[in-house]
Chain A
Amino acid sequence: MTDVMKSSPQPTAQESILAPQGEAHSELLRRREIDASCRVPVMTFYASGIFWLLIGTALALLASVKMHWPDFPWAPQYLVEAEWLNFGRVRPAHLNTVIYGWATAAGVGTLIWLMARLCQAKVVGTPILMVAAVFWNVGVLIGTMGILGGHSTSIEWLEIPPYATPLLFLSYAMVAIWTVIMFTQRPPGHVYVSQWYLLGAIFWFPWLYGIVQLLLLGFPVQGSIQGIVNWWFAHNVLGLWFTPIGLAAAYYFIPKVIGKPVYSYYLSALGFWSLALFYSWNGGHHLIGGPLPTWVVTASIVASCMMVIPVLVVALNHHLTMRGKWHLLISSPTLRFIVFGAMMYTAVSLQGISMSLRSLNEVTHFTHYTIGHAHWGMYAFFTMTMFGSMYYIVPRLVDCEWRSASLIKWHFWATFYGILLMLLVLTVGGLWQGFKLNDPEVPFTTVVQSTIPWLIGRSFSGVLITIGHVVFAYHFFLMIMRLGKPAGKPTLFREPVEAEGGVA
C-alpha cells in the first residue's frame, strides 16, 4: 500500500515555482523538463481539437435549428436549400467532427501528457506523434468534406467515407505504438490506475476501428449482423475509448489537485477490470426489439446491468478521495470541471443501465431521450473532463497562466447551464415523445408537433454551449500566443478558502 501512496500523483504544493528547495526542487525541474518535452505534440492535438470543436458546434446548431424550423424563412435561402447543408448531412458531419475531430484529439493530447508525467520520462518519438496529428486532421477533414459532399456511409459513428478511414486508422496506430514505447521508458515499479485505463484505451480502439472497417466497409457482413457489429463498435468507442481516457484524467487530476492519494487501490482495480469485461458487451442493447435473435440482445442487457459494479466502484472511490476537500471546487477550475464530469459519468451510466431494460427501452428507444443520453456521456462527462484537464495542462506547457478568471467562469457556467438545459429538454421531451409514439391513437403528425417546443429548447441550450466554446477558444488562443499571466500563480475562480496549496 505504501508503494501505491508513493507513486500516486503527488500533491502540487511542491509545484509552486517559488517555494521548494533540495530534493523537491530537482523534482520540480524534472517535471518542467517533462512538460517541455510534451509541448509541441500536446498543443498540436489540443489546438486542432478546439478548431474542430468550433466547427462541430456550428454544425450542431445548424442541425438543431433545422429540426424545428426545416424551412426557416428568415435565413438565407442557401442555408435551407444547399445540398451540402441538408439536415441528413449536417447531422453526421456534426457527430464526426466532435467525436473524431474534437474529442479524440483532446483525448490523445491528454493521454500524451499523462503518459509522460506518469512514466516520469521525457517524451521520446515526437515525430511519430506529429505525423499522427497531421494524418488525423487530414483524415477528419477529408471525412467531413466527404460526408457533406454526399459520401456518408450512414453507418452511425462510422459515417466517414471508406477513402478517409484508413488514414485515421494509421494515425491511431502510431499513437498506440508511441504509447507502448513511452511505457517502456518508465522506471520499474508501480503502474498507476490512470495508466491502466490509458493502455486499455490505446489497445482496444485500434482493434475496434480495424475490425469494424473490415466487417462493414471492406467485406460487409450480411443483413442485420451489420446492425450488431455497428453497435458493438459505436458503443465501445464510448465505453472502451472515451470512457477510459476520461476516467484516467479523473483518477489523475482529482488526487493531484486536492493533494491526497486515491482512496483505494483495490477499488481502482475492481473498477477497471469490471469495466473492461462488462462495457465491451453492451452494444446489443441498442437493438432491443430489432431483427436479431433475442439472446444477443439479452446478453447485452445483462452486461449493461452488471455495469453498476464499475460505475459505483469508481464513484465511491472518487467520492471518498474528495471527502473533506469539496471546498476546493470553489476555487479550482480544473477540479470543478473534472468533478462535474465524474459526477455526470456516474449519472449517465446509471441512466444507460436503466435504458437497457426492455420496459423503459420500449418508451425511450427511437426518441430524443437517447440523443440526450449520448450528449450526457460525450459532453457532460467526457468533454467537461477534457476542459478540466486542459485548464491544468496548458499553463504548464506554454509557461504562462490563464489570462482571466472571468473567461474561465463564462466558459464553465455557459457550458454547465447549456448542457444541463439540453439534458433536461431532451430527457423530458424524449419521454413525452416516447409515450405518444407508443399510443397508436395519437396521429404521427401530432407526435412530431409535440416535440417542437423541446427542440427549440435544445437549440437555445446549443447557443449557451456555443458561447462557452467561443470564450474558451479565445482564451486558448491567448495562451498559444503567450498572452497569459506570468507563470507561478495559477488563475483561480477565487482565492482558496484555506491557504493550503495544490489548486490549479
Chain B
Amino acid sequence: MMNRLPTLFMGMLLTFSSAWIGLVVVPWAFFGTLEPVQNPSEMAMPGEMVPPPVTGNIEAGLEVYAANGCVYCHTQQVRPERQGSDIKRGWGTRRTVPRDYIREKRVFLGTMRTGPDLTNVGVRLQDPAWHHQHLYAPRSIYPNSTMPNYAFLYDVREIQGQGSPEAIQDLPPENAPPPGYEIVPTQEARDLVAYLLSLKRNYPLPEVPPDF
C-alpha cells in the first residue's frame, strides 16, 4: 500500500486538506466577510460605523509600520479578562474580536511583547509631539527603553524664520540638534504617527460584552 505513488499522494492530500479546510476554509466561510456596524454606544452619532475606516495617512502609516518591523516587538490584540494582565495593564477595555480588524488591509496581531501592546495606543497617548519625540529618541522619554530609534524618519535642518511648528522640542542635550538646527518629521514619520493615533479599539461591539 505504501509503495505506490498515487496511494501515498492520496493519503498526503487527505491529511493536508483536512487541516486546510478546518483552519483556512471554514473560518473564512464563517467569519471572513464581516461588515462594520452602527456604533451601539448610546453616545454615538447616528450612522457612526465601527470600526472606523482606515484611509489616507493612516493607510500610508500602516505601510511604514510594516516596513520597519514594529510587529516583532508590539502586539495588537487584547486577550480576554481572565487571560494574562492585558486588560489590567490598561491595554484595552475589552478583548479584541475579528470585527476589530476588518478595515485594515494587513493585520498585525503580533506574537511578541518586547514592547507594550498597541491595540489602543491612540487612546492612551494622543499627543503627536510625544510620538515624534519617542520615535526619534526613545530613551529621551524612557531611559530604560530598548526600542530602536527611528531617527532616519526625521530630517535635521537649518531653522528658517520662526522654525517649523512640527519640530521636536525639549530634547535632552545628547539628542538635541546643533544650535540653529531643528528636527522635523518626514512624511513617513507623519503617516506612522497618524496610524498609531488611529489605533483605538475601545468602541463597544454587539458581540463583545463589556469587561470580557
List the B side residues contacting A222 at CB < 8 Å. Answer: 32-34, 101-102
Closest residue of chain A to B15 (Cβ to Cβ) is A276
Q: Is A200 part of the contact surface with B, judged by Cβ < 8 Å?
A: yes
Are A367 and B113 closer than 8 Å at their CB atoms?
yes
Are A280 and B19 closer than 8 Å at their CB atoms?
yes
Whole-angstrom CA separation of A215 from B20 in the bound complex: 12
- Binary interface encoding of chain B residues 17-40 relative to chain A, with 1 for a CB under 8 A from any of its CBs, else 0: 011101110011011111000000
List the A side residues contacting B66 at CB < 8 Å. Answer: 152-154
Instruction: Tell me which of B11, B22, B149 has the highest count of chain A C-beta atoms within 10 A of its own C-beta.
Output: B22
Q: Is B99 part of the contact surface with A, judged by Cβ < 8 Å?
A: yes
A341 to chain B, nearest CB (A): 24
Are A225 and B146 closer than 8 Å at their CB atoms?
no
Whole-angstrom CA separation of A253 from B22 in the bound complex: 36
Q: Is B107 part of the contact surface with A, judged by Cβ < 8 Å?
A: yes
Could you write out 27 A-B pairs with CB less than 8 Å apart?
A: A88-B148, A153-B106, A154-B66, A155-B106, A184-B5, A190-B3, A191-B8, A196-B2, A196-B8, A220-B105, A223-B99, A223-B100, A223-B102, A224-B98, A224-B107, A232-B19, A232-B20, A240-B16, A289-B83, A293-B30, A293-B31, A370-B111, A371-B112, A437-B85, A444-B116, A448-B145, A451-B114
Known A-B contacts A223-B98, A291-B97, A437-B85; the reply to A87 vs B113 at CB < 8 A is: no
Q: Is B71 part of the contact surface with A, judged by Cβ < 8 Å?
A: yes
Are B84 and A289 closer than 8 Å at their CB atoms?
yes
Are A86 and B148 closer than 8 Å at their CB atoms?
yes
Known: A91-B72, A280-B15, A303-B19; 14 extra A-B contacts, CB below 8 A, are: A154-B66, A189-B3, A190-B3, A203-B12, A221-B28, A222-B101, A223-B99, A224-B101, A224-B107, A229-B24, A269-B2, A293-B27, A366-B111, A438-B84
Are A199 and B8 closer than 8 Å at their CB atoms?
yes
Contact of A204 among B12, B30, B77, B88 (CB under 8 A): B12
Whole-angstrom CA separation of A218 from B15 in the bound complex: 26
Give the A-B pair count, Cβ closer than 8 A.
220
Whole-angstrom CA separation of A81 from B142 in the bound complex: 19
List the B side residues contacting A283 at CB < 8 Å. Answer: 19, 23
A12 to chain B, nearest CB (A): 25
Q: Is A17 part of the contact surface with B, judged by Cβ < 8 Å?
A: no
Known A-B contacts A70-B149, A224-B109, A273-B15; the reply to A152 vs B23 at CB < 8 A is: no
Q: Is A211 part of the contact surface with B, judged by Cβ < 8 Å?
A: yes
B residues 153-167 in Cβ contact with A at 8 Å: none
Q: Is B9 part of the contact surface with A, judged by Cβ < 8 Å?
A: yes
List the A side residues contacting B32 at CB < 8 Å. Answer: 221-222, 225
The A interface is mostly helix, strand or loop, or mixed, namely helix
Q: Is A138 part of the contact surface with B, judged by Cβ < 8 Å?
A: no
Q: Is B152 part of the contact surface with A, judged by Cβ < 8 Å?
A: yes
Tally B residues with Cβ within 8 Å of A.
Answer: 75
Q: Is B199 part of the contact surface with A, judged by Cβ < 8 Å?
A: no
Instruction: Tell me which of A203, A226, A269, A366 has the highest count of chain B C-beta atoms within 10 A of its own C-beta.
Output: A366
List the A side residues contacting B5 at CB < 8 Å. Answer: 180, 183-184, 199
Are B144 and A289 closer than 8 Å at their CB atoms?
no
Whole-angstrom CA separation of A86 from B3 in the bound complex: 51
Interface extent on A, as a size class?
A: 35 or more
List the A side residues contacting B22 at CB < 8 Å. Answer: 281, 299
Known A-B contacts A153-B66, A273-B11, A437-B84; the reply to A220 vs B27 at CB < 8 A is: no
Q: Is B139 part of the contact surface with A, judged by Cβ < 8 Å?
A: yes
Are B23 and A281 closer than 8 Å at their CB atoms?
yes
Are B67 and A151 closer than 8 Å at their CB atoms?
yes
A331 to chain B, nearest CB (A): 34
Are A88 and B70 closer than 8 Å at their CB atoms?
yes
Whole-angstrom CA separation of A296 from B19 in the bound complex: 11
- Binary interface encoding of chain A residues 345-368 relative to chain B, with 1 for a CB under 8 A from any of its CBs, else 0: 000000000000010001001110
Closest residue of chain B to A90 (Cβ to Cβ) is B69
Are A290 and B2 closer than 8 Å at their CB atoms?
no
Are A228 and B113 closer than 8 Å at their CB atoms?
no
Q: Is B150 part of the contact surface with A, judged by Cβ < 8 Å?
A: yes
B136 to chain A, nearest CB (A): 11
B118 to chain A, nearest CB (A): 12
Q: Is B93 part of the contact surface with A, judged by Cβ < 8 Å?
A: no
Contact of A191 among B3, B13, B77 (CB under 8 A): B3
Contact of B114 among A155, A183, A448 (CB under 8 A): A448
A residues 196-226 in Cβ contact with B at 8 Å: 196, 199-200, 203-204, 207, 211, 215, 220-226
Whole-angstrom CA separation of A273 from B67 in the bound complex: 40
Are A71 and B27 closer than 8 Å at their CB atoms?
no
Are B24 and A228 closer than 8 Å at their CB atoms?
yes
Are B98 and A211 closer than 8 Å at their CB atoms?
no
Are B24 and A232 closer than 8 Å at their CB atoms?
yes
For the complex of A and B, 5 pairs with smallest distance between CB atoms: A88-B69, A289-B79, A280-B19, A223-B101, A440-B88
List the B side residues contacting A31 at CB < 8 Å. Answer: none
B173 to chain A, nearest CB (A): 15
Whole-angstrom CA separation of A290 from B83 in the bound complex: 10
Q: Is A403 part of the contact surface with B, judged by Cβ < 8 Å?
A: no
List the B side residues contacting A438 at CB < 8 Å. Answer: 84-85
Q: Is B211 part of the contact surface with A, judged by Cβ < 8 Å?
A: no
Whole-angstrom CA separation of A6 from B133 in the bound complex: 71
Whole-angstrom CA separation of A392 from B107 in the bound complex: 44
A178 to chain B, nearest CB (A): 14
B93 to chain A, nearest CB (A): 14
Whole-angstrom CA separation of A448 from B113 in the bound complex: 9
Q: Is A2 part of the contact surface with B, judged by Cβ < 8 Å?
A: no
A32 to chain B, nearest CB (A): 27
Are B31 and A225 closer than 8 Å at their CB atoms?
yes
Contact of A291 among B69, B98, B147 (CB under 8 A): B98
